[in-house]
Structure 1
Amino acid sequence: MNKINILYIIWSLGLGGAEKVVIDLCKNIDKDKFYPTVCCLNDKGIFSDELEDVGIEVIPLYKKPKFDPYIIYKIYKLIKEKQINLVHTHLWTANFWGRIAAKLAGVKVIVITEHNVDVWKRRAHFWADSLLASITNKIIAVSNKVKEFYIKMTKINPDKFITIYNGVDLTKFNIKINVLEKRKEFGIEPSDKVIVIIGRLEAAKAHHVFLKALKEVINETLNFKALIIGDGSLKQEIILLTKELNLQNNVIITGLRKDIPELLSIADLFVLSSTREGFPITLLEAMRQGIPAVVTNVGGNSELCINGETGIIVEPNNPRTLAEAILKLLTDQNLSNNFSEASKVRIQKLFTAEIMAKNHEALYLNLLNKPI
């Protein structure tokens, strides 16, 4: 049969969970049935080479800042040139402009993914989501919490939604590295415990809570290093807070990194201090590596991390309880080992990129046979 041409539309392939989902979908989708292309509304992003290296085209449209209706024509033209059968958009900007362009271009199947509990959205955003639902075949939520949030905020018919969990590409972690050399790269002593937190340096990730928790951990005379991996608008604030809390000798802000599997291989503990999440890819990756986790009780975290089985779940915005959980896992090796094994089993059984791709394939084929 003829291959189904899919256009994935996203802002850019930079650091982020949604970006990793698009990359892993493109890599793992059945190429005998589907031909994926990625459209980036901005530039390609630092991770675009992961797709281009395997022959998947990534096309940047360089959208102008703020309101730029001309982007509709650019997307429309691309859809026509590539003879697209199905458009799948990710994140607000792509979800908005991409759906309008796809409808004007006569695309029969339009799918969007909601990746997070987007509390930043205003009433106008939810109104637009509600309006555009009429031209959307299916809205994928990456967790049940995300689905419940959007049903509540938009009043869209629940039948329009489906939950498809994110998955992790297991092949990325089939690596062998010299752990001691990697630790030396960051000046980490053999006796130091290593804590890793990965994510954009933005308010929702609550790095300030993480740092305040570390201040309490250091008071327990535990030797540790914390790697803060990522970049963002709050970088300078985080650097200043690190100095104010006298944590310069314990905290390393790495910036953006492509060697996440290698960095996770030296970690003893993974932490998410976020105030909102969808279904975090970083947590998936950490659990795949068998790293015990301390995460906040937000979004889909509790659908992935089982409290008392694969990690510890704490309430957000509470440095004290976060510190207690960190200390517990860094000092109780038996508990840490048990969580490690349970984490690896859970990911391999339920949350792989292959499973995620197959769930998307089934949805696509069903919708193409049943257009709106």
Structure 2
Amino acid sequence: MSSATTHVMQVIFALEFGGAESLALNVSSLLREDKRFSVSLCGMFGSMGPLSDVASQRGVSAFSLDARRLGKVRTVAELYRLFRLEGVAVAQVHGAYLLQYVMPAALLAGVAVVYTEHAKHSLSKHARLRRMANLHGRLFGKMVCVSENLRAFMIDVVGLRPDRIEVIPNGIDLSRFAHSAYERIRHNDGVVIGTVARLTEAKDHGNLLRAFATVHEEVPDVRLKLVGDGELRQEVESLVSTLGLEDAVEMTGKRSNIPQLLAGMDIFVLPSRREGFPVSVIEAMACGRPVVATDVGGVREIIDDGVDGIVVPPEDSAALAAAMLALVRDPEGRSRLGKCAGRKACENFSDQAMVDNYIRLFASVGGARA
């Protein structure tokens, strides 16, 4: 490996697709195009997964450590060995839980650690994670939050010093959501409402389904498309049946052609109980879709309520139903919000702008020229 490059390794929970994992892959892919950097990915749990296949296609090396099988001491030793073997200068670790492995290995190997946090839920529940986040601040300095909302939490609740926190919002590859996707792909159907999210407790599909049942009662030809899979699939399917919505709800499972699926929706909904800085909202906006989202995490840093989307309280199916129904009945309003959303996404949320901020940070801690 050339000594002229700064090697940045993204350390993630597993080589599976999720919000943090997709961000790590995108950062690596763009960094790889900069001759000052070399890159790799390391999943700490499980084996090589679907993310490693895509990484390979993009020329990004991927490694897997089975921390659950190895135990903590052996995992730290293996990670130290990997840091030395790959010549890692900077490890970007996603989530406080992984710091218990990364910090000791990095200290032994002389590797800088940039800790990136995506959400506050685990930190809220576990004092041990808050202690690790504080220890990182004392040992390594800078951390990254994906939203101002999360930064305030890290200062007020976790106790980090404000000068140790950088805010770098998530960005997306805008070229995947080209202007041609703005026009709704028309079929012989009514208005299509959709969401793209894993079927988990945090995403609160139950809230969406109960709200949609109200909308469907008022406008019988409206349809709902749920894109994604997860551990609650059976429960979601059962609720669809209980609400009598089998003919109105389509569950696509896990899909990769997200821009095309978004182009088939008239309204995008994020019904979550909690979020960090939801990329799915940015993707929908980039595709010119009006968005209804719950007021969680960094949502209000993305959506200007009433201007380029609608923000409603979380776990309030009546408010969610009212917002969806208003857009279903107002095609001109959908068009206005969608156009404003598309402009904002293109102006504010490109992945290149995000990576430029990371390059500046990596250069400051890893020795590359900014």
Secondary structure of 2:218's counterpart equals coil
Give the CA deviation at 1:369: 5.0
Encode CA deviations 1:207-235: one digit per residue, 9 max, x unaligned.
11111101101110241221212222222
Given that 1:25 and 1:357 are in contact with CA atoms closer than 8 Å, whether structure 2 keeps it comes out as yes
Aligned to 1:171: 175
Encode CA deviations 1:131-152: one digit per residue, 9 max, x unaligned.
2322233110000011111222
Report the Cα distance in structure 1 between the residues aligned to 2:219 and 2:337, rounded to whole angstroms: 24
Give the CA deviation at 1:56: 1.0
Secondary structure of 1:64's counterpart equals helix
Report the Cα distance in structure 2 between the residues aligned to 1:193 and 1:13, rounded to whole angstroms: 36
Indicate the structure with greater helix content: 2
- For 1:258-297, list aligned pairs within 5 A: 258-297=256-295
1:28 aligns with 2:26: no
Correspondent of 1:89 among 88, 93, 100: 93
Give the CA deviation at 1:254: 1.8
Encode CA deviations 1:297-354: one digit per residue, 9 max, x unaligned.
1110000011111110000110011001011112211111111111111111111001
- Unpaired runs of 5+ residues, structure 2, are none
Aligned to 2:114: 111
Correspondent of 2:14 among 12, 15, 19: 12
Report the Cα distance in structure 2 between the residues aligned to 1:66 and 1:274, rounded to whole angstroms: 35
Given that 2:96 and 2:133 are in contact with CA atoms closer than 8 Å, whether structure 1 keeps it comes out as no
Given that 2:143 and 2:165 are in contact with CA atoms closer than 8 Å, whether structure 1 keeps it comes out as yes
Encode CA deviations 1:33-79: one digit per residue, 9 max, x unaligned.
11111111133332333221121111112222695332111111100
Report the Cα distance in structure 2 between the residues aligned to 1:2 and 1:136, rounded to whole angstroms: 23
Report the Cα distance in structure 2 between the residues aligned to 1:45 and 1:175, rounded to whole angstroms: 32
Give the 3 Å change call, closer, same or farther, for CA 47–224 of structure 1 in structure 2.
farther
- For 1:219-230, list aligned pairs within 5 A: 219-230=217-228
Query: 2:235 corresponds to which letter in structure 1?
Result: E
Given that 2:6 and 2:366 are in contact with CA atoms closer than 8 Å, whether structure 1 keeps it comes out as no
Give the CA deviation at 1:82: 0.6
Query: 1:9 corresponds to which letter in structure 2?
Result: V
Correspondent of 1:218 among 199, 216, 219: 216
Give the CA deviation at 1:257: 1.2
Query: 1:58 corresponds to which letter in structure 2?
Result: A
Give the 3 Å change call, closer, same or farther, for CA 326–67 of structure 1 in structure 2.
farther
Given that 2:97 and 2:129 are in contact with CA atoms closer than 8 Å, whether structure 1 keeps it comes out as no
How many residue pairs align between the two structures? 362
Report the Cα distance in structure 2 between the residues aligned to 1:3 and 1:282, rounded to whole angstroms: 33
Aligned to 1:45: 49
Secondary structure of 1:55's counterpart equals coil
Query: 1:18 corresponds to which letter in structure 2?
Result: A
1:162 aligns with 2:160: no
Given that 2:90 and 2:365 are in contact with CA atoms closer than 8 Å, whether structure 1 keeps it comes out as no
Aligned to 2:318: 320
RMSD between aligned residues = 2.1
Given that 2:96 and 2:132 are in contact with CA atoms closer than 8 Å, whether structure 1 keeps it comes out as no
Aligned to 2:74: 70
- Unpaired runs of 5+ residues, structure 1, are 184-188
Give the CA deviation at 1:85: 0.8
Structure 1 window deviating more from structure 2 (291-300 vs 220-229): it is 220-229
Among the aligned pairs, what percent are the same residue? 29
Encode CA deviations 1:97-142: one digit per residue, 9 max, x unaligned.
22222122111x2101100122563222212222232223311000
Given that 1:192 and 1:224 are in contact with CA atoms closer than 8 Å, whether structure 2 keeps it comes out as yes
